[in-house]
Amino acid sequence: MKKFILFSISYLLPYLLFAQQQRPNIVWLTTEDNSASWYRLYNPEHGAPMPNIEKLAEHGIVFNNAYSNAPVCSTARSTIISGLYGPKIGAHYHRAEQKVKMPKGLKLFPYYLRQAGYYTTNNSKQDYNFVAEDVNGVWDESSRKASFRNREENQPFFHVQNFYDTHEGQMFGELKEGIEDIGNPSEVELFPYHPDTDTFRKKYAQYISLNHYVDKKVGRLIQQLEDDGLLDDTFIFHYGDHGGVLPGGKGYAHNDGLQVAMVVHVPKNWKHLSPVSEGSRVDGFVEFVDLSATVLNLAGIKIPDLIDGKPFLGKGVSIEKLAKRDETFGYADRFDEKYDMVRFLRKGKYSYWRSYQPFNFDGLHNSYRYKQEAFREWRALAKKGKLNDEQLAFYHKRLPEQLFDLENDPHEVNNLALDPAYASVLLEMRKLMHDRVSDMPDLSFYPESFLLKGITTDGVSFGQEHKTEIRKLIDIADLQLQSFAMVKKKIGKALNSKNNFERYWALINCSVFGEEANQFYSQAEEMAKNDTDIFVRMRAAEFLGLTGRINPKPLLLDILEQCPDQIAANLVLNTIVLLSELTPMKLTLNDLDQSKWKNVEGNISNRFLYLRELANSSQFLEN
C-alpha cells in the first residue's frame, strides 16, 4: 500500500505542479497624458474620484514619487519597453523621424518574458521609436483584440491595456456623449501658471470627468480578472504614460509633465514579493526606466546587465532600499515640429531644470499643442498683456538653469537658482546633471539630422565611440552657467575651433548671453554667410536675429534651401518660427512659395502652415 501511494504521488506530481501558478501574472492598466495631481488619490481636495484605482491601492501600494522619464508618449513608451534612457540610445525624439536600433545583446523586455513561457499581449498602443526587427517577436499579440484570455491553460501572462480616454485629443472639443460630467468649473484649483478664465476652468472640470470615466473602464478590466479567478495571482499596475494634459504639462520636462500616479495591486499568493504591506504608501522614487527590471524581477527572470533601470518590487527589494531612492531624471527634445533641449532632475524635494537652448521658450508654436482651446487663449492673453509674471513665463525665454522646492512650490513657479541661500543646493544639482549627461552620454548634443545619419549600428555604440567629443560639447554648453566675463575667452576659442560642433555650441551660448556677446557679432556674420557647416550657419543667423543685429531672413532662407534632408530643414524652420514670433522678421507668402520644402508632408508641413498664417496676418495688418 505504501509503495502504491508513493508511486501515485511521484506520477501525479508533474501534473499537480503544472496546475499551480508557478509565476505571477502581471497586468498594466495605462491611461494617457495623466499626471498624479489629477487623482483624488494624490490630490484629495481637487483630484478626480477614481474608486476602482483607489480600491487597487487598498490592497496594494501607492508610490508617491513616480515619474515618467519623458513628458510625451513615444519617448516615454520607448523608455519603458527598452529599460534605457532615451537620450542614450537616440529614442528621445517625438515622433521618430527615423527608428533606432536596440544595443547589441539587449532585447525589448517582453521578449524575455515570452522566452520564459509567458503569454504577452498588448491592447493596443505601442508608439515605440525602434526599428521593426526589434519590435517583432515581443508580443504574442498586439492589437485591439489582444487579451490574456487567449493564452494556454495555466500559462502565466503579461498584459498591457491602454486607455485613450484621457488623451490630449479628448480636450480639443466638448465631453463626448455618454461621459458623466462630474467636474464643477467653480470648484477646480488652477495651477498658478494658468490664467483664471472660464475656458481654463471648464477644461479642468472636463479632465476631471474624463478621469472619472476612464476609471470605470479600468474597473471592467479588473472585473474580468476577478471573474476568471486570477486576482490572487496577478500583479496589477496602474499608471499614466506621462504627465499632462492641460497646457504646460504634456510635452514639457517639468514636474507637471513628468510626475505620474503609480498604483500596484499585490496579489494574495505573491505578497512575499512586495517589500511593504498592502495599503502602504512609499516615498522612495520610481521611474519608467525601472518598469522593465521590475517586471522581470517579479517573474523571476534575470535582469539583463545593459538595462538602466532597477527593480522596485520582487526578490532583493527591501523597504530600506526603496527609501534610499531619491532621484529621477527626465528629458524633452523635439516634440513633433517644435525643438527644445531640456533636462529635468529631481533629488529629494528639489527639482532642477537645465535648459540648453533656453531661447526656445515653452509657448513656441506647435500645431498639435494649439489645437487645445486653452492653449490658444493663453497665447492670446499673453499677446494682449493680460497675464501676470507667473503666467507669462511660458511665453518668455527661460534661464539656463532653474531650481524649485517642490514641497512648497509643487508647480515650479518660484525659481530659487538666483537665491544665494540655495547656492549649495544649486551647485549639487548642477554637478549631478553634468555627471548624468556626461556619463550616459547624452546624444542630443549633436543635431538630430547628423545624429541619425551617424548611428549606423545603435545609439549606445555611437555614444561610446563619441563620448570624448560629447563631453567636450557638454563643457562648452555649460559655459552658459557662468558670467559672460568669465567665459568669453572660452567661447571665442570654441568659435574658432576646427570642430564644427564646438562652433555650433559656442553660437548657442552667444544666443543665451544675447547682447552681452556683441563682441562676436562680426565673426557671427561671417560664419552665417560662409561657414562650411549648415547648422553652424543657422546658429550664427539665429544669434544675430535674436539680438537684433541684422534681419537674418535672407540668410535663413538660403540655409533652408541648402538643407540636405527634411530633418535638417525642420530644425532651420524652428529657428525661423522662433524669430518670427520674437522679432520683426516675417516671411511673406512669396518666400514660402519659392521654397523647395513647401509641399513636403509631416513636421515641415506644420511649420509651413503656421508661417502662412503669420504671413497672411501680416499682410492683413499692412493693408
Q: Model confidence over 111-145: pLDDT tens digits? A: 999 999 999 999 999 999 999 999 999 999 999 99
Least confident of 63-77, 203-217, 609-623: 609-623
Determine the length of the chain: 623
H or E element that contains 30: strand 25-31
pLDDT score recorded for residue 274: 98
pTM (predicted TM-score): 0.96
Domain coverage including residue 287: 25-326
Q: 155 in a domain, yes or no?
A: yes
pLDDT score recorded for residue 10: 41
pLDDT score recorded for residue 497: 98
pLDDT score recorded for residue 427: 98
51 three-state secondary structure:
helix
Q: 126 in a domain, yes or no?
A: yes
Q: 573 in a domain, yes or no?
A: no
% of the chain at pLDDT higher than 90: 96
Q: Residue 180 has which C-alpha cell?
A: 458623466
Interval 25-52 mean pLDDT: 98
At 619, the pLDDT band (50, 70, 90 cuts) reads low
Contacts of 439 (CB under 8 A, 6+ apart): none
CA diameter of the chain: 107
Q: Residue 214 has which C-alpha cell?
A: 476612464
Q: What angle do CA 219, 162, 249 make, to 5 degrees?
A: 105
Q: 368 in a domain, yes or no?
A: no
Spell out the alpha helix ranges (H) of 514-602: 521-530, 534-546, 553-562, 566-582, 589-593
Q: What is the pLDDT of residues 441-458, one digit of tens each?
A: 999 999 999 999 999 999
Q: Residue 186 has which C-alpha cell?
A: 467653480
Q: What is the pLDDT of residues 527-574, one digit of tens each?
A: 999 999 999 999 999 999 999 999 999 999 999 999 999 999 999 999
At 21, the pLDDT band (50, 70, 90 cuts) reads confident
Q: How many CB atoms lie within 10 A of CB 332?
A: 26
Closest Cα to residue 284, out of 28, 79, 67, 47? 67
Interval 248-253 mean pLDDT: 97
Interval 494-521 mean pLDDT: 98
Q: 332 in a domain, yes or no?
A: no
- The b/e string for 532-553 (b: 16+ C-beta within 10 A; e otherwise) is ebbbbbbbbbbbbbbbeebebb
**What does the DSSP 8-state code read for residue 103?**
P
> Residue 305 is part of a domain; what is its CATH number?
3.40.720.10
Interval 391-406 mean pLDDT: 98
At 618, the pLDDT band (50, 70, 90 cuts) reads confident
Q: How many CB atoms lie within 10 A of CB 334?
A: 25
Q: 203 in a domain, yes or no?
A: yes
At 40, the pLDDT band (50, 70, 90 cuts) reads very high
Extended strands (E) in 91-170: 119-123, 141-142, 157-163
d(CA 580, CA 553): 10
Q: 623 in a domain, yes or no?
A: no
> Which contacts of 41-44 are long-range, i.e. CB under 8 A and separated by 24 or more positions?
41/261, 41/263, 42/261
d(CA 297, CA 82): 15
CB distance 118 to 301 below 8 Å: no
| Total count of domains within the chain | 1
pLDDT score recorded for residue 247: 96
